[in-house]
Structure 1
Amino acid sequence: MGKKRRTHAVLSVLVIMVLIIGMIPGLASADTSDGSTWLAWLSFATSADSTLIAGETDNINVQLWDNNSNPFSGSVASATITGSDGVSKIYQISGNSGDYTISNVTLETAGDYQLVIRQGAIGTAFASGTITVLDAKTLITDPLYINTNNTVRVKVTDADGNPLMRKSGTVDGSLVGASTVSYTTLSDGTFTFSMTPTLYGNVNIDYAGHIIGTIPVQPAYSQSTRIGGTSSDNVSLAISVAQSGWTAGAQNVILTRDDQFSDALAAAPLSKKLDAPILMTSSSKLDDRTLTELQSLGAKNVYIIGGTVAVSQGIQDSLSGEFTVTRIAGQQAYDTAAQISANVGIDPTQTVYIANAYAIPDAIAISAFAAEQGSPILLTEQNSVPASTAQALANLKAGNVILLGGTAVIDSSVENELSSKYHVKRWGGFDRYDTENIIFQNLFNTDTPQSPIYFTSGLVRQDDVSSGEPKADALVTAALAAKQGGFVVMLPQNSLPSSLNYFLLFNKGYIKQTSVIGNNNSISLDLESQLKQMLVH
């Protein structure tokens, strides 16, 4: 009985082996008794041959091998490609000596497809492989505005993010009153096109018969909802600005006093570097609202700007149990600015901006631009350069210095002193608003306009208000503007100064988005409406 069982077991194994051999592609009906060879397996010539783009017509190059692992030299009957839906299509295949080409393959839907190539003489001998089809996608850098000559940059990739190089397609503007333009991608997958839509709608980017990207036509100008419209003081306004710009939270936060701003004039470039909103508190006791916002932002690090007179030691101690606290401070405001500059750093080819420590509007006017550039802001006295400012300039190895304000705020003696060591320019007007205008004329880029513009109160000095605190709207918004790529325009509550009126009218075609900051005592409803009517185009 034992021998019979062993015999049956051996026979069973042999049967299973025969079945397995019969299932191997290319071996099912092979007869090797005469020494013949047959098609056994395939490999794709390149990775591009096994990965296609949906809708694209292409040739697939394969290498065929026989059962002896030599290039297959026989004839092939067909190449069949089958999708996951079970639908098959037969394609023409040609070639010899192992190298074959399947011509004019077009697969419209992303997914995996099975390729089967059958031998001509032995129809059941075959080789197979998998073709992956990916959708093409676009990364669109620029918006399209109505009735504006737009230049738009686009990158075309496959679904895995690989650039599609030297591919041609069209940008269809017919639905928005514009023409259809052709494109060919560069070696990095990018292309640029220009278009002037005259209707609202969508512009479609087409490739290989597929819409791979859509660009909606936007109004040429829009005014966003007012930020901090219900704020009652500087603390609540700073919180509203932080909540608007740092919706995902902030690991770093800058904390400064809420009633006097000289210490924080240079803070915007630090804010940009740290990606940190600016919050405020009274000097003696941490405001409960500020603590709540620190916790809500998920802050880990708090940077206090100014000495213990500006933000008390008691506030620092109360924060130290929950946050890592760093104080950046000097004896005077220009000393603090010098300390901040050491944290910001600079490329020697860039610019350092210098404002009078008491000309608060001039320093704030440059804040967002300086932050975008990564350029420090330093402070000076009217008639002499403080030692800390001079040392900071030396430490930064500054090449270019721009003085902000006319000779009434920074005397020509300061300009002469600095000109012996640095390339010095002065941007100054007859008042704070004219100086703003001159700064904007020098830095507003019409090729890639900074946006949005934030309209804020110009009442930033204690002398500007007969009672209560000066408005911190512009100071804290400079951090938001730097984060968003825009800048701050300071205005009186109810009127538009002629110099700024000129700047806005002259550049209205490049101004796409604005927002008003603060309550009606900062920018009145009438002025907000006037700005909107002026800038609509």
Structure 2
Amino acid sequence: MMSSMSRGRFSAILATSLVFALMLAAVPASGATAPVARTRSAAPGVRVAPERTTASGIRPLAADDDMPGVPITPSPITGTLNAASDVDDVFAVELADGDTLSATISGPAGTNFDLFLYPPGASTVASVAPVASNADLRDFVYPYTLDFRVDAAGGYTPGTYYLDAWSGGTSGTYAITWRIIPADNNNDIAFAQPIPASPFVGWNSFAVNGGILDVSPGSGDYWTSSFPDVFVDGFDVYSVDLAEGDQFTATVKSTDKDLDMELLLYPPHASMVDTDGIVQYEDAWASASDLTKIGLPETVHFIVPPGGRGTYYLSAEAWRGNGDYSLTWAVNKDNLVRMQGASRYSTGLSIVRGTTYQSQYAIIASGANYPDALSAAGVAGAYEAPLLLTNPKTLLDDLKVQLVELGVTDVIVIGGTAAVSGGVFTALEDMGFDSVERLAGTDRYATSAKCAARVAQITGTVDGAFVVRGDSFPDALAVAPFAYTQAMPVLLTRPTSLPGSIASFLDVNNVPNVYIAGGTNVVSSGVAGSLDRLNGGATVVERIAGSDRYHTARKVADFGVAKGWGTYAFVGVATGANFPDALAGGVACGRMGGVLLLTKPSALSSWCGGAIGANAGTVDRVAVFGSSSAVSAGVYNSINAILP
């Protein structure tokens, strides 16, 4: 093991073995590595390792003043130390291989008592280096804690160790609590234990034998040590078998105020948990919603996507302090779920994670505007790829991570540099994918035509196309699931005139069927007439329209189901007041073979509720896209009341 190891990270592994590479020969591996996504904020302060001074020699040594000390007595222990005449109290403690000694010391205000641990065979406290001390993150606030694990393979042999309470140049009464924690032997995926019945308790420590945590600027939060690095008990890994559609939720809590933990869920093809700062294909797929937040409780939530059935691994990890924790978990198949994040981008990633297990291709469009993402639905269908939304100016770390975790090797960016900047494109290229390309035209309409041409290139023939208004989003959103399942282009038009690039595509490709989404106030009868005259008048034009955006979405859903393009088994629900969640959600509904409905943010649309109610016997799952600020808890509860 390396002599120092970073502990601030989202998820990673130390190395990818040749054996594992061969195991993955049939599994798409990512063509890229990405920098770590999220890191812990640095601790506000750090206790440096206490520096021993020699005993004063004023009085004859007592039995507990040096090795071999006195046998340790049951916890708690109290005693007195004097800076001038009694600087050490030494206790002998027997430790077996795998045992962890956890001890704390407290004292009155103004004192600075410390704990040291010396190895078997040590002769005096002054001549032998300790294997552990209570240096930690408490910044001189009692209690101070020492954690140490016996690991024969790591150079720490079983035997009689010596726990030394040292005065630190101060005098007074101290109190020591201590316990020996047997080895749990579940510190990595290879040693994962079946997850115990909920709730259960465990113990974690963010410590390295002999280590001192350096959080100085630029240190990257490294444990440093002159001894072999042996993590005391930073990882408890549990296995859990999950099926497609399962919702897995786990929450960790603790009454130990200094303990901070994270929960990370690793996929079936993962081989190890660790922290080298590089995100790879087998790294954790789900974590607490905010890894930068210090404190408990923390909750991880994961919905198993199609193709994702298997044994997953929950890693309960100490990121600061130590102590006992309580972990509760559940697996259910509720027919109503919410896919959400802290922003439109993280919501989009949550939607993709719940509907996509792995993909060779990824389609990326701006999440700041809707036109290019509307056109992307058909491209996504042609490549059987997810749609991921990006910040137009910055390639966010979360997006980088998800691209790697999905095993993506080829990326297609939709839109010009005004939509997705050159900086984002270059950042994607720098990730080392097999290919990164851009589909773009001079404006949104030309970009739409470019996307349609790519669909035609991939599929060979285009049997139909959707035509939607390009300067407004509501009526266009609901066509995405069917554009995906049918690999059907979504073509943007001006409300009163058909762009030449769109007409040319339909004519050149002899598209026989065109479906307009929205009424004549959205896409005029003049545009419909222009479409009708294409291909020598052979093009059949159908309009799908309702009284408002919510009604139109219902009409589109029913139309597509009647055509056999999808079913009501999976229903996505998004706000009709804004576009981001529906953009990613529409393609996700297509991947699930379902439909997309729109609702008002604070009251369930009658058209949405009516569609769910009319098809309740068919519905397996309703996924609400976005947080409660996008689709309120009241709407969520109203949907729940409709479902059987």
**C-alpha contact 1:222 1:514 (8 A) present in aligned 2:** no
Deviation readout 1:449-487 (Å, 9 max, x if unpaired): 342101112223xxxxxxxxxx41111112221111112
The whole-number CA distance in structure 1 between the counterparts of 2:464 and 2:563 is 20
1:225 aligns with 2:337: yes
Indicate how the Cα distance of structure 1 residues 286 and 512 shifts in structure 2: closer, same or farther if over 3 A, else same. closer
Q: Which residue of 1 aligns with 2:442?
A: 331
The whole-number CA distance in structure 1 between the counterparts of 2:378 and 2:348 is 17
1:414 aligns with 2:536: no
Deviation readout 1:242-271 (Å, 9 max, x if unpaired): 221222x32211111121111110212221
1:530 aligns with 2:638: yes
Give unmatched runs, 5+ long, in structure 1: 1-218, 461-470
**C-alpha contact 1:457 1:474 (8 A) present in aligned 2:** yes
1:439 aligns with 2:584: no
1:487 aligns with 2:598: no
Q: Which residue of 2 aligns with 1:342?
A: 453
1:497 aligns with 2:608: no
Name which of 394, 397, 402 aligns with 2:507.
394
Larger Rg: 1
The offset of 1:224, in angstroms, is 3.7
Q: Which residue of 2 aligns with 1:124?
A: none
The offset of 1:406, in angstroms, is 0.8
Structure with a larger share of its residues in helix: 1
- Normalization by structure 1: what TM-score? 0.54
For 1:195-214, list aligned pairs within 5 A. Answer: none
Deviation readout 1:339-372 (Å, 9 max, x if unpaired): 1111112676732110010231222111101211
The whole-number CA distance in structure 1 between the counterparts of 2:634 and 2:563 is 28
**C-alpha contact 2:609 2:639 (8 A) present in aligned 1:** no
The offset of 1:488, in angstroms, is 1.5
The whole-number CA distance in structure 2 between the counterparts of 1:452 and 1:441 is 13
**C-alpha contact 2:415 2:439 (8 A) present in aligned 1:** yes
Indicate how the Cα distance of structure 1 residues 319 and 446 shifts in structure 2: closer, same or farther if over 3 A, else same. closer
The offset of 1:399, in angstroms, is 0.6
Indicate how the Cα distance of structure 1 residues 335 and 298 shifts in structure 2: closer, same or farther if over 3 A, else same. same
Indicate how the Cα distance of structure 1 residues 242 and 506 shifts in structure 2: closer, same or farther if over 3 A, else same. closer
The offset of 1:280, in angstroms, is 2.1
Give unmatched runs, 5+ long, in structure 2: 1-331
Q: How much identity, in percent, do the aligned residues show?
A: 28
1:361 aligns with 2:479: no
AA partner of residue 363 (structure 1): A
The whole-number CA distance in structure 1 between the counterparts of 2:475 and 2:442 is 22
Q: Which residue of 1 aligns with 2:484?
A: 371
**C-alpha contact 1:493 1:524 (8 A) present in aligned 2:** yes
The whole-number CA distance in structure 2 between the counterparts of 1:268 and 1:405 is 18
1:380 aligns with 2:464: no
Q: Which residue of 2 aligns with 1:452?
A: 570
Equivalent position SS for 2:492: strand
The whole-number CA distance in structure 1 between the counterparts of 2:382 and 2:606 is 34
**C-alpha contact 1:266 1:363 (8 A) present in aligned 2:** no
The offset of 1:507, in angstroms, is 2.7
Equivalent position SS for 1:225: strand
For 1:274-313, list aligned pairs within 5 A. Answer: 274-313=383-422
AA partner of residue 436 (structure 2): V
The whole-number CA distance in structure 2 between the counterparts of 1:416 and 1:446 is 24
The offset of 1:390, in angstroms, is 0.6
**C-alpha contact 2:609 2:642 (8 A) present in aligned 1:** no
Q: Which residue of 2 aligns with 1:424?
A: 541
* Greater relative CO, 1 or 2 (CA 8 Å, sep 6+): 2
AA partner of residue 443 (structure 2): Q
Equivalent position SS for 1:444: helix
AA partner of residue 552 (structure 2): T
The whole-number CA distance in structure 1 between the counterparts of 2:398 and 2:591 is 23
- Normalization by structure 2: what TM-score? 0.45
**C-alpha contact 2:554 2:597 (8 A) present in aligned 1:** no
**C-alpha contact 1:269 1:368 (8 A) present in aligned 2:** no
AA partner of residue 241 (structure 1): I
Q: Which residue of 2 aligns with 1:172?
A: none
Equivalent position SS for 1:266: helix
Query: Could you say what the CA RMSD is over the residues aligned between the two structures, in angstroms?
Result: 2.3
Equivalent position SS for 1:415: helix
**C-alpha contact 2:462 2:509 (8 A) present in aligned 1:** no
Deviation readout 1:391-411 (Å, 9 max, x if unpaired): 111232101111111111111
**C-alpha contact 1:400 1:424 (8 A) present in aligned 2:** yes
